[in-house]
Each structure stands twice: as structure tokens, then as C-alpha cells.
């Protein structure tokens, strides 16, 4: 810590507390208790210093009435004492929703002297230095925690009382502004997501290129597509087998008629847009262990909307990958998430050439002579196609989309020239969205650091000016010490009176308890 202002003093948290308490729960827990007095645990404190009461637990009122410790009062500071969230801190203020509440055995109540501004102490405990102080007392494994000694080991930079109040007032104002900025920033990812989806929907319904069609009277020729597929079959098979396949396909091939299609567009199943020499395929069923210098294998976690996230790409053994040679990637194939979370769809970039894919991904090679793979990816990423895919999503133990269903996915196809124009426009708009998203991430990172930056400045004595006329913190501590001694004596007297009453009237006192 930096040197404190002249009128400040370092003290231990213990020196300014009148009470340090923890609560309890009835034998057998509180799982089936649906009414009574709210019992506050670590799960009810959030990392913004306030509370989340979406799942309130209760103890019976008769149990709460008998508790001698752990009853919550306004201005109490609550600190989680064990588990993964040890040190999480919140303060009970006038907006606390319960007139009566208690803490359970996983939470400490820190009750400050009346001569100290409790919010000043609370704000320090939520600062980076405060949290570090608390967690330095952590003992045990991940399920360990802190004990009562943490209050004697936690050092607080104490300001004069009047300055404490000025600091708290300034912090309330600044941190409210920070919270408001965070709330506004939280809306941006939602807006960006909606923007991208609206771009995709506009692209595949023809709205995005409406002006382009007014100048270009082109249409998609399905006969040309069928002729291309015939030529591929004739090259691959002998004439007899090729003609048998061609006749079978021509009988099954039908255009899906839709009134809302733009002029020149045709609805065609994904199967007929694919390269007949390369089958629709799932990838590797069991990936095995991570293999150094193995074959990179893409999983659904790597598949995003129109791009691949190359972080955490698993390497599998070549022996396993070679058993699925059909799904070795060459570049420009479509990859589609068909298991688990839907929505991942992209075109394989050159960098992923030679990769393989997992079972949760389907690979589709597109007839690039007439169909732009990026356009098909845009269509499948759109809400139109995703709604269709959700309808055919099936299974119980292992849910997903079957290859046969995927083949039947209807795609609205414009001319190749319009496909290219759509891809160009979508990429340009997505680039703008990416730029906004990058600015959002930088702004969020800045705002996320801002709270701790403000708190650090406050507890260095730099947030508000010092007033020489303020009573120094050292003298304030002396008064707090005197107050604690007085409270201790009064508690001692009260305890003595109760003990004497128990001796004189044991039966009556037992009934009262």
C-alpha cells in the first residue's frame, strides 16, 4: 500500500467491530422448510456487493428466536466464510427486503462500531486490497475457508469519520454511474446478435440485394445444376450405373414453390447443391486422448456462426483420424453442428485443410461451379434455416439432426452472381459488427477495471480532499476502543444478571428459553 494521508491510520478490522457472528441451521438442514425466517447463505450474495434472493431458504421462526448469534441488522456487513466464493461481501441497507433474517453457518456478520461509517468499511472489503486481505487468511482446499482470525489479520486504512462520509458519498455517486454504464454495455452484445441475425435473414429472403436485382435480371437455372450433376456421375461411373442414378434423381428432384421468393430464386434441397462425389458425413465418433503432433480435429465448441474458433482444437491420433478419411477437410466444405448446441456453421478456410471433424459435426461439400459455399453457410446460419433444423432435431439419449434430414433442408438459391453479391454485403456488414464488438470489449474491459480503480483511489485518500479540521483517525480509534470497552462491560453485567436469575429460578428461565 502507498503512504496514507496525515490524518489517516492503519488499523485491524477487529479494532472497529462491535460484533463478529455467524449463524446456524436446524438439525437436518432447511431443504423442506418453505416458510419462516429467511436464512442467508453465500449463494445469496453477489459480486456487486448486493444480494440475489431468487432462491430463498428459511429456518422456522421458533429456531430463529432461539438464535443468540447470526441475526441480521441494518448496516451489517456480510462476508462468505468458506467454499469457492470465500470473501464475497455484501451490505445490508435500508432496501433489504426482509424485516427479520438470519445468516447460516457459511456467512460472517461484521457489525461495526457506531462511530465508524459501515459503508466505508464495506467498500474497502470489496476493493482489491480488501479482498486480498481476507483471502490471505484462507486455509484448506477449495472447500476450505476463513475463520474468526481474519478480522485481526485484515488491515484497513482508516480515514477520519467526516472524511469517511465524504468518501462514501463520492463512491456512491461514481459507482452508481459505473453500474449504469455496465447496464448499458450489457445490452450491446444482444443488439449486435440481433443485427447479425437480421442481416442474415435479409440476405436469404432477398431484401439485402433488392436494389441489385433491379439492375440485374438474372435467375438460377436448375437445369444447369442437374446437368452438372449428370456430368459428374458420367465421369465417375460407367454409363449404365450413371444413368440409373441420374434417372432416380430426376424423378425425386422437385422445386419447392414459394410465393414469397424473390424473382429468379429457386428453393432446392441441400442434397442437390452438394458434390455427389463426396458424401454427407459425420466425423470421428471417439476422439481418444490428446495426441501431441496428431491430427487437428474440430469439435462443436470450435464451430461458431460463419467462422471457426481455433482455440482449444484437439489433436487426435492419425490412426483414429484415418479411419474417417471421408471427413478429412480439403477446404471450402460446409461444417454444420448437428449434435448438442445448434447454430455452428461455417466454410472451411485454407488453414484448416487436412483437419478432421468430430461426430457432432456434419460435412457437406458444395458444387462450387454453380453454388457459393459462403452463401449456403449464410442461409443455414439464418433464422429461416435454424427454425427448420430445430423442427427435425430429434432423439432422447443422443439428440441431433440426421443426415437424411439435413439433405432435405430447403435452400432458397439465387443466381451465382447474386449469391456472390450477398456474400460480399454480408461480410461487409459483419465486419462493421465485428468492429463495434471490438470497441464494446475494450469499453467493457475499461469499465470492469474502473470500479477497482476508483476504490483504490478512495483508500489512498485521493478521491476527496482532506479537511485539517477533521478529528484524526487515531483519536477516532481511541473513542471506538472506549465504546467497545463500555459495551463489553454492559454485556458482562447482563450476562451476570442472567446467570443469577438462572440460579434462582431455573424452571422459569428454562420455560422462557
The answer to whether 305 and 192 are in contact (CB under 8 A) is: no
The answer to whether 329 and 356 are in contact (CB under 8 A) is: yes
Q: Which of 413, 445, 479 is the last residue of a domain?
A: 413
Identify which has the larger pLDDT, 465 or 258: 465
In a domain, 336, yes or no: yes
DSSP 286-334: ---S--TT-EEEE-GGGB-BSSB--TTPEEE-HHHHHTTGGG---SS-E
> What's the confidence (pLDDT) of residue 298?
96
In the predicted structure, residue 33 carries a pLDDT above the cut 90: no
22 and 144 in a common domain = yes
In the predicted structure, residue 396 carries a pLDDT above the cut 60: no
Residue 392: pLDDT band with limits 50, 70, 90: confident
**The three grid cell numbers given for residue 185, joined into one nine-digit string:** 454495455
3-state per-residue secondary structure call for 229-296: HHHHHHHHCCHHHHHHHHHHHHHHCCCECCCCCCCCCEEEEHHHHECCCCCCEECECCCCCCCCCCEE
361 and 483 in a common domain = no
Helix (H, G, I), strand (E, B) or coil at 493: helix
In the predicted structure, residue 505 carries a pLDDT above the cut 80: no
DSSP conformation class of 207:
S
Report the relative pairing of strands 102-103 and 107-112 from DSSP bridges: unpaired
**The three grid cell numbers given for residue 13, joined into one nine-digit string:** 478490522
In a domain, 61, yes or no: yes
Which residue in this structure is represented by grid cell 489512498? 460
> What's the confidence (pLDDT) of residue 494?
61
Q: How many domains does the chain have?
A: 3
112 and 66 in a common domain = yes
Residue 508: pLDDT band with limits 50, 70, 90: low
> What's the confidence (pLDDT) of residue 513?
53
> What's the confidence (pLDDT) of residue 339?
87
> What's the whole-number mean pLDDT along residues 165-188?
95
> What's the whole-number mean pLDDT along residues 69-82?
96
477 and 400 in a common domain = no
Give the length of the chain.
513
Beta strands per DSSP E along 105-181? 107-112, 155-158
**The three grid cell numbers given for residue 117, joined into one nine-digit string:** 461509517
47 and 18 in a common domain = yes
In a domain, 215, yes or no: no
Helix (H, G, I), strand (E, B) or coil at 91: strand
Distance, in Å, from the CA atom of 336 to the CA atom of 303, rounded to the nearest integer, reads 8
> What's the whole-number mean pLDDT along residues 113-142?
93
Residue 93: pLDDT band with limits 50, 70, 90: very high
> What's the confidence (pLDDT) of residue 157?
96
**Radius of gyration (C-alpha) of the chain in whole angstroms:** 34
In a domain, 228, yes or no: no
In the predicted structure, residue 510 carries a pLDDT above the cut 70: no
259 and 395 in a common domain = yes
- Per residue in 18-27, pLDDT (tens digit) is 999 999 988 8
In a domain, 14, yes or no: yes
Tell me the average pLDDT of the chain. Answer: 91
Beta strands per DSSP E along 329-427? 334-337, 345-347, 356-357, 361-364, 410-413
The answer to whether 72 and 107 are in contact (CB under 8 A) is: no
Beta bridge partners of 357: 298
Distance, in Å, from the CA atom of 315 to the CA atom of 504, rounded to the nearest integer, reads 79
104 and 42 in a common domain = yes
Helix (H, G, I), strand (E, B) or coil at 372: coil
Instruction: Output the CA angle 407-312-442, nearest 5 degrees.
Output: 105
In a domain, 435, yes or no: yes
Around Cβ 494, how many Cβ atoms within 10 Å?
A: 10
- Give me the torsion for CA of 25, 30, 36, 38, rounded to 10°: 70
Q: How far is CA 84 from the centre of its chain?
A: 17
Distance, in Å, from the CA atom of 427 to the CA atom of 421, rounded to the nearest integer, reads 10
165 and 135 in a common domain = no
φ/ψ bin of 108: left (φ > 0), alpha (ψ from -120 to 50), beta (otherwise): beta
472 and 360 in a common domain = no
- CATH code: domain of residue 483: 3.90.220.20
Out of 68-72, 269-273, 331-335, 387-391, which region has the weakest mean confidence (pLDDT)?
387-391
489 and 454 in a common domain = no
The answer to whether 440 and 192 are in contact (CB under 8 A) is: yes
In the predicted structure, residue 376 carries a pLDDT above the cut 90: yes
**Which residues does 477 contact at the CB level (< 8 Å), separation at least 6?**
9, 11, 15, 16, 158
> What's the whole-number mean pLDDT along residues 450-462?
96
**The three grid cell numbers given for residue 31, joined into one nine-digit string:** 431443504
In the predicted structure, residue 30 carries a pLDDT above the cut 80: no
Which residue in this structure is represented by grid cell 470500479? 451
Residue 34: pLDDT band with limits 50, 70, 90: confident
> What's the confidence (pLDDT) of residue 395?
60
Domain that holds residue 457: 161-205+423-463
408 and 318 in a common domain = yes
Residue 74: pLDDT band with limits 50, 70, 90: very high
In a domain, 444, yes or no: yes
> What's the confidence (pLDDT) of residue 291?
94
434 and 376 in a common domain = no
DSSP conformation class of 471:
P
> What's the confidence (pLDDT) of residue 188?
96
**Which residues does 293 contact at the CB level (< 8 Å), separation at least 6?**
315
Distance, in Å, from the CA atom of 265 to the CA atom of 256, rounded to the nearest integer, reads 11
Reference 312, options 363, 358, 367, 265; nearest CA is 358
In a domain, 235, yes or no: no
Amino acid at each position: 500500500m502507498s503512504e496514507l494521508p496525515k490524518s489517516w491510520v492503519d488499523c485491524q478490522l477487529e479494532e472497529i467491530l462491535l460484533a463478529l457472528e455467524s449463524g446456524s441451521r436446524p438439525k437436518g438442514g432447511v431443504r423442506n422448510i418453505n416458510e419462516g425466517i429467511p436464512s442467508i447463505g453465500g449463494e445469496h450474495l453477489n459480486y456487486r456487493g448486493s444480494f440475489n434472493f431468487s432462491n430463498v431458504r428459511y429456518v422456522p421462526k421458533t429456531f430463529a428466536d432461539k438464535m443468540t448469534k447470526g441475526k441480521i441488522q441494518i448496516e451489517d456487513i456480510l462476508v462468505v466464510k468458506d467454499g469457492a466464493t470465500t470473501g464475497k461481501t455484501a451490505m445490508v441497507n435500508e432496501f433489504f427486503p426482509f424485516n427479520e433474517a438470519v445468516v447460516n453457518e457459511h456467512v460472517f456478520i461484521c457489525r461495526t462500531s457506531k462511530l465508524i461509517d459501515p459503508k466505508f468499511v464495506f467498500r474497502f472489503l470489496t476493493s482489491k486490497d480488501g479482498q486480498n486481505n481476507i483471502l490471505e487468511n484462507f486455509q484448506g482446499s477449495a472447500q476450505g475457508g476463513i475463520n474468526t482470525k481474519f478480522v485481526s489479520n485484515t488491515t484497513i486504512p482508516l480515514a477520519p469519520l467526516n472524511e469517511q462520509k465524504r468518501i462514501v458519498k463520492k463512491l456512491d455517486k461514481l459507482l452508481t454511474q459505473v453500474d449504469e454504464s455496465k447496464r448499458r454495455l450489457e445490452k450491446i452484445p444482444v443488439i449486435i446478435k440481433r443485427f447479425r441475425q437480421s442481416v442474415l435473414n435479409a440476405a436469404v429472403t432477398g431484401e439485402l440485394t433488392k436494389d441489385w436485382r433491379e439492375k440485374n435480371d438474372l435467375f438460377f437455372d436448375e437445369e444447369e445444376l442437374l446437368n452438372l450433376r449428370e456430368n459428374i456421375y458420367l465421369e465417375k461411373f460407367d454409363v449404365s450405373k450413371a444413368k440409373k442414378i441420374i434417372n432416380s434423381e430426376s424423378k425425386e428432384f422437385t422445386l419447392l414453390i414459394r410465393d414469397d421468393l424473390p424473382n429468379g430464386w429457386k428453393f432446392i434441397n441441400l442434397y442437390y447443391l452438394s458434390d455427389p462425389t463426396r458424401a454427407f458425413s459425420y466425423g470421428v465418433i471417439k476422439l481418444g486422448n490428446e495426441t501431441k503432433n496428431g491430427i487437428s480435429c474440430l469439435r462443436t465448441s470450435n464451430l461458431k456462426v460463419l467462422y471457426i474458433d481455433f482455440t482449444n482444437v484437439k489433436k487426435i491420433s492419425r490412426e483414429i483420424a484415418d479411419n474417417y478419411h471421408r471427413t478429412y477437410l480439403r477446404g471450402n466444405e460446409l461444417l454444420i453442428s448437428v449434435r448438442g448446441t445448434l447454430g455452428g456453421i461455417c466454410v472451411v478456410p485454407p488453414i484448416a485443410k487436412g483437419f478432421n471433424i468430430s461426430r457432432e459435426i456434419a460435412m457437406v461439400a458444395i458444387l462450387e461451379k454453380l453454388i457459393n459455399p459462403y452463401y449456403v453457410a449464410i442461409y443455414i446460419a439464418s433464422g429461416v434455416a435454424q427454425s427448420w433444423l430445430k423442427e427435425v432435431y430429434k432423439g432422447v439419449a443422443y439428440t441431433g439432426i440426421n443426415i437424411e434430414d439435413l439433405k432435405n433442408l430447403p435452400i432458397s438459391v439465387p443466381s451465382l452472381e447474386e449469391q456472390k453479391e450477398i456474400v460480399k454485403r454480408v461480410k461487409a456488414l459483419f465486419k462493421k459488427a465485428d468492429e463495434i464488438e471490438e470497441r464494446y470489449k475494450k469499453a467493457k474491459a475499461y469499465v470492469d477495471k474502473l470500479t477497482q480503480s476508483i476504490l483504490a483511489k478512495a483508500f489512498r485518500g485521493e478521491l476527496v480532499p482532506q479537511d485539517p479540521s477533521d478529528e484524526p483517525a487515531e483519536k477516532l480509534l481511541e473513542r471506538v476502543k472506549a465504546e467497545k470497552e463500555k459495551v463489553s462491560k454492559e454485556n458482562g453485567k447482563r450476562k451476570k444478571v442472567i446467570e443469577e436469575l438462572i440460579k434462582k429460578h431455573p424452571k422459569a428461565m428454562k420455560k422462557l428459553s
